[in-house]
Amino acid sequence: LQALKILPGIVSTSDVSSRFYVRGGAGDQNLFFFDGIRIYNPFHALGIFSVFYPNVAATAEIYTGAFPPGFGGRLSSVVNIMTRDGRADKISARTNVNLLSMEAEVEGPAIANSSWFLDVRKSFSSRTFSKIIGEDIPVSFYDGTFKMSVQPSGVQKFNLTVLSSGDN
């Protein structure tokens, strides 16, 4: 979501926050979709982090006006994020650990003409902030994304996407 803030007509109030405003509208007037799932609060930790981890995104479309018919319900913008498919050739894993969060991903083939991936993320920011500031700051979150893609006949494709997210 940080990358969207450089587009024309999109304004941010902070370099730290992922929240943005489109053409003078309020921050809650943006509609977010994640593989067709409507996301009502796509931010963690007061807007510092996004629910959408960049490694799972394949494409992101943003409409700042003249929304397509299926995207009604908000005044400012529509952000439609589509996830990528998992690897269909072999199983692979990746992990990332930094001072604020830990992320792990596993992906691979399932049955013929299918693939899957699982991506999970957990924050460590409350521990990091308490060591820097010296006070307990209870800000933590988690995300989990699972996607299974099956293309049995070459033309039709079926996807199952599960997103779990939470904040403390």
* pLDDT band of 22, cuts 50, 70, 90: confident
- In 3D space, the residue among 28, 73, 57 whose CA is nearest the CA of residue 147 turns out to be 57
Cα(127)–Cα(4) distance, integer angstroms: 29
**Do 15 and 58 touch, CB atoms closer than 8 A?**
no
More confident call, 120 vs 68:
120
Average pLDDT, the chain: 83
Parallel, antiparallel, or unpaired for β 49-50 and 158-167? unpaired
Q: What angle do CA 89, 94, 98 make, to 5 degrees?
A: 165
List of residues 6+ apart from 140 with CB closer than 8 A: 45, 122, 123, 124, 125, 126, 167, 168
Decide: helix, strand or coil at residue 66. Answer: coil
**pLDDT, tens digit, 9 for 90 and up, residues 88-132:** 999 999 999 987 789 999 999 988 889 999 999 998 767 776 777
More confident call, 33 vs 6:
33
List, edge to edge, every strand of the sheet that includes 30-34: 37-39, 30-34, 77-83, 57-63
